[in-house]
Amino acid sequence: MVWKSGEQVWAELHEQAWRYFGVSCRYVVLDNLKEGVLKPDLYEPALNLVYAATLAYYEVVADPARVRESLAVYRRDAKPR
């Protein structure tokens, strides 16, 4: 259970998980939480510095999740009943 959130806490939680399992993953798909991703981009995502340093230390590649289209676009393109 986490009572507060921040970029330091986010990085520490990942470190604790990797230590618990005894291995780190090589690829992480992030859900674009602001503690991990400042600006999602398919080719050059902007990561928080603390989290980026943690990933670099453990040699993990981060891939932010794709941003979902807005419902307004979906509804506009939907066929009328």
The mean pLDDT of 36-47, rounded to a whole number, is 81
The answer to whether position 2 is within a domain reads: no
Collapse the DSSP code of 10 into the 3-class scheme (helix H, G, I; strand E, B; otherwise coil) and give the result. Answer: helix
What would the pLDDT profile of 43-53 be if each residue is shown by its tens digit? 788 888 988 89
Q: Please give the single-letter amino acid code of residue 54.
A: T
The DSSP secondary-structure symbol of 58 reads T
Number of domains into which the chain is organized: 1
Residues of the chain with pLDDT > 70, as a percent, come to 79
Q: Are 51 and 36 in contact (CB under 8 A)?
A: yes
68 pLDDT higher than 70? no
The answer to whether position 35 is within a domain reads: yes
How crowded is residue 47: how many other Cβ atoms within 10 Å of its Cβ? 20
The answer to whether position 1 is within a domain reads: no
Residue 48 structural domain: 7-77
The mean pLDDT of 6-11, rounded to a whole number, is 82
72 pLDDT higher than 60? no
pLDDT interval class at 12 (50, 70, 90)? confident
Whole-number pLDDT of residue 20: 93
